[in-house]
Chains A and B, each alone.
Chain A
Amino acid sequence: MALHKTVTQNKVQYRFNPDNLEASEPNKFREGDLRSEEMIINVGPQHPSTHGVLRLEVISDGEIIKDVVPHIGYLHRCFEKHAENLPYNQVIPFVDRMDYVASMNSEHAYVMGVEKMLGITNIPKRIEYIRVLVAELNRIASHLIAVGTYGLDIGAFTPMFWAMRDREHILRMLEWTCGARMLYNYIWIGGLYYDLPVGFEEKCTEFISYFKPKLKELEQLLVDNKIFIDRTANVGVLPLDLAINCGATGPMLRASGLRVDLRRTDGYSAYPELDFEIPIGEGKMGTVGDCWDRTWVRVREITESMKIIEQCVAKLTGEHKRTRDFDPQALVPKKIRPVAQDLYVRAENPKGELGFFFRADGRNDVPFRCKARSCCFVNLSILPELSKGVLIADLIAIVGSLDIVLGEVDR
C-alpha cells in the first residue's frame, strides 16, 4: 500500500502514445503514395549498424532500395545555443562532446579560430607540436573505431576487438595528459591545460613500435580479407564530381581520388613543418570511391599519423624539449573579448572538414553567433545519392563506410 502511494505521488511526465512518433518525426513518404510493390522499412534509431541514433526510412522494392531518407536529431544537444550563452573558453567542453571519438581534433579547430580572432599568433612551438601530437593520436583512435566498427557492421567480429584494444592504449595515454578518457578539454585558448606528463614522449615511441605490427595484422585480417573485399568493393561508389558537389570532405573525398587535405592546403599549426603523405583512393579492388577505398584510405591515414607522431616526438624531445620554466598557460588570456568581426575557421578532422563560424560583436565575452560546420552532417547528406538502387545489405555497408558520429551530426 505504501509503495502504491509513492508511485501515485510521483508525477508521471510522459505517457506513451503511439501517435507521438508520427507527430514528432513523420516519415517523408506515405504508404498510399508508393507503388504496390514498394514498402517502407524503418531502420533505427536503435539499430546497431547505424552507429548511434540514426533513423533511416528506406523505400524498398524487394531487396532493392528505391530511396533512403535519413532522420536525424535524436542526439541534438543545442551546441550552438549553448555557445551563444557561454564565454569562449567555456565552450571547449561542448566542442569535445560534438565528435566524441576525436575531441582533440575538434578542440584544436575551435581554439585556432578563437586565437585568430584575438590575434594570438606567437604560440610557442612546443605547444603547437603537443597539439599536433595529441590530435594525431586521437585521429588514430578515431580511425580505429571507424575501421573496427565497419568490420562489425558487415560481419567481421574480431577486428573490432583488436581495434578497441589498440585504441585503449591511446585513450590511456590521453587520460594521462588531462585526466579524461574521451572528453579532454586539454587544448586551451592560447595554450594547453598542462604540459605533457613526464615520460609521455617515451610512451608514444613505445606505442608506435607496438602498434605498427598490430596495424599490419588488422589490415591483413580485415582490409585484405576476401569476404571483406567482396562486401565492399564496387559498393557505394561515389564519383569525384558528385563528391565535390555534395560537399564531401576528408577521407570520403580523398577516397574518390582527389588529393586534398586541409593540413596541407591550409598549413595550420605545426603541419607545414611535418612530412606526411596524403593517401587517396586508387580503386585497387574495384572502382575509385567505393566503400573499400574509403576504409583503405583510413588505414593508410593511420600510418601517416604514426609518421607525424614520430616526428613530433623527435621535436619534443630534441629541439623543443621540456624545460623547467615552460608554462603552457602563459599565453592563456584572462579575458576573452575579440573585436567585432566574422571569422570562419576550418581544420582537418578524422572525418572531414570541421569548420567554426564566429561572429563577435566586440561588446560581449560570449560569441554573438557560433556555428559548427559538421563534417559528418554533410557526409551523411550524401547517403540518399549513394544508396539508390543498391541492396539492403549494401546499405549497411555504405552507412558504415561514411564513418559518422551522431554526436557531430546532431550537435
Chain B
Amino acid sequence: MEFLNIILESDPSAAVVPNSTPQTIAVDPKKLITVAENLLRSSQTYFDQLSCVTGIDNGVEAKTMEVIYHLYSIPYNFSVALKVILPRENPVVPTLSSVWKSANWMERETFDMYGIVFEGHPDLRRILMPADWDGYPLRKDYKEQEKYREIQVKY
C-alpha cells in the first residue's frame, strides 16, 4: 500500500505510531482534511469508509487528548488509522464530515464525551447525554454532578 507516501505528500511531519493495530499514522490536525481527502480520492488507496472515530483523554498530567480515525478501504480490503494529538485545554480539530458523512454522528459522540470541538461541523450538539448535562463524562478528571433535576446521580 502506498498510503504512507500519500500521507507524507500532504503532511511531511506525519509519523508512524508504534504498537498499534491497524497501523496508525499521527498527522498534524491542520493537515487532517487534506490527508483524508487524498486518502479517499487516490486510486491507490480508496479509503472509502470511516469506520470509527475514537476520542482519548490522556489525563491531566499528559495534558493531551487524541482523536483516532479508523479508515477502511473496501476495494483493497485494507485498514489504517489516523491520529491527531490535541492540547487538553481547548481541543479543536477540523471536522471530516465533508469527506465522510459517517463522521457526522461519530464526531458528535466524541464531542459529547470529551468536549473536543470539531470545527466546521454542521450540527455539533450533544448526542447521547442530555443537552443540559454538566461536563464531559469520559474525561479522566470528570466528576459527576451531585444532582440532575433533583435526582441523585451517584448511587
Contact = CB atoms under 8 A, between A and B. Distances in A.
Contact of B20 (A249, A343, A353, A385): A343
Contacts of A244: 48-49, 74
Most chain B beta-carbon contacts within 10 A, residue among A81, A84, A339, A385? A81
A249 B74 CA distance: 11
Interface string B3-32: 000000000000001011110100000000
Interface residues of B, number: 42
B51 A81 contact: no
B132 A246 contact: no
Interface string A22-48: 011110100000000000000000000
A353 B22 CA distance: 16
B135 interface: no
In terms of DSSP, what is the predominant structure of the interface of chain A? Answer: mixed
Interface residues of A, number: 50
Interface stretch (A151-159, A205-213, A369-377, A397-405): A369-377
Interface in A218-263: 242, 244-247, 249, 258, 260
B51 A80 contact: no
Contacts of B101: 242, 245-247, 381, 385
Contacts of B127: 72-73
A271 interface: no
A346 B77 CA distance: 13
A247 B17 CA distance: 25
In order of increasing CB-CB distance, the 3 nearest A-B pairs are A247-B102, A24-B130, A381-B105
28 contacts: A12-B150, A23-B131, A23-B132, A28-B125, A72-B128, A73-B127, A81-B138, A84-B138, A244-B48, A245-B102, A247-B51, A247-B101, A265-B77, A341-B20, A342-B19, A342-B20, A342-B81, A343-B20, A353-B51, A355-B70, A369-B54, A371-B52, A373-B51, A373-B52, A377-B109, A378-B106, A381-B101, A381-B102
